Amino acid sequence: MTTHKAQGETMESAIVDLQGCRGSEAPYVMVSRVKSLQGLLILRPFAFSKISCRNSQELRLELDRLDKI
């Protein structure tokens, strides 16, 4: 099943391969479709960067601005 097809679905179990994912949205969709962690099997190791994202420069500047208020 593709990530796009899985959006909006709820599954009892899933085997996911995060190694080939692009962007930060696809991994989120893949791991959030199962009802519990017991139903999730990650097929192989993956880089942490696949599931993390950095704040944009614009967001960092805005957060700094708000901290100063």
For 7-55, the pLDDT digits (tens) are 888 999 999 988 887 777 888 888 899 999 999 999 999 888 777 777 8
Domain hosting residue 7, numbered range: 3-67
pTM, two decimals, is 0.63
Cβ-based neighbours of 6, under 8 Å, separated by 6 or more: 14, 29, 30, 33
Nearest to 18 by CA among 8, 30, 34, 32: 30
Number of domains in the chain: 1
H/E element holding 66? helix 57-67
Contact criterion met (CB below 8 Å) for 34 and 6: no
d(CA 15, CA 57): 35
